Homo-oligomer: A and B are copies of this chain.
Amino acid sequence: MEAAVIESIIPTPDLMNARRILAIQPHYDDNDIGAGGTLALLHELGAEIHYLTVTDDLMGVLDASLSPVKAKKVLEAEQDRAGAVIGVSSQIRLGYPDAGRYDYFELRANLLKYMRLLKPDFIFTPDPWLAYESHRDHIQCGLAAASAANLVSLLRLPSSDPEVDRNYQPHDLTGVAFYYSATPNTPVDISGTNEKKIQAIRCYEAQFMREDMEMLLQVLTRKESQYAQSQGMELAEGLKVMAPMQLHCGL
């Protein structure tokens, strides 16, 4: 007997209504690679977009002669350029060590802080339940973001900043959009913004050799086309959008 799979019975929030987005990424290019077309589209539709990058992303810098301090400057400049293409209002950088050790609870408290400070209605982040994702930064980032989204309104739970907690009044966080998901429920047509997405990704020169960059862009396009076809579209990013309360007990 085949086991029945129990699905959530709560309706999927409508991403297209997003007004203020906090997009939380492990490395400096994940938001753009995973959801750059969608984010550019939402910006065109009037949404305010903030990026938060968890790690310092230093491990993948190709030029071995760059010191950490210089490499960091290069990365930030690239990220600023890419952000201008997508329409990012601000860049928050937590600076945890790339592929390194950092504390889940400290990270979550930092995410709580920025959720309470900026009061976004939508969170973007990588899907940490993606099977065969081996990068701990992605798993920790996605789990901490999901947990913070689920618990943000509990006033007894401290963020990393008492000043922020002091002034916070619970607000309405509508949804979490996971990218890099194996089971998307929300296809977003990015035919109109894919150019921006590609232009943004091309800014990230410090970590991709020219031919690797071309291969990455080809792979992305092929995945987006393939998924789009199954949805009757031409080019689409697939997101898993959920209400915060769905992130608990399988509701």
Partner-B contacts on A (CB < 8 A)? 1, 3-10, 30, 33-34, 58-61, 64, 69, 92-93, 95, 97, 99-101, 103-106, 109, 126, 129-136, 138, 143, 146-147, 149-151, 154-163, 165-166, 168, 180-185, 219, 222-223, 226-227, 230-231, 238, 242, 246-251
Q: Please list the 7 inter-chain residue pairs (A to B) with the smallest Cβ-Cβ separation, ordered nearest first.
A: A162-B165, A134-B146, A134-B247, A166-B166, A129-B131, A134-B147, A158-B162
Is A132 a contact of B162 with CB atoms below 8 Å? no
Where chain A touches its partner, the secondary structure class is: loop
Number of copies: 6
What chain B residues lie within 8 Å of A151 (beta carbons)?
Answer: 59, 99, 135
Residue in B95, B126, B130, B230 whose CB lies within 8 Å of A4: B230
Given A132-B246, A166-B166, verify A101-B97 contact (CB < 8 Å): no
Give Cα distance in the complex from A212 to B134, angstroms. Answer: 34
> Which among B109, B182, B242 is the interface contact of A250 at CB below 8 angstroms?
B182
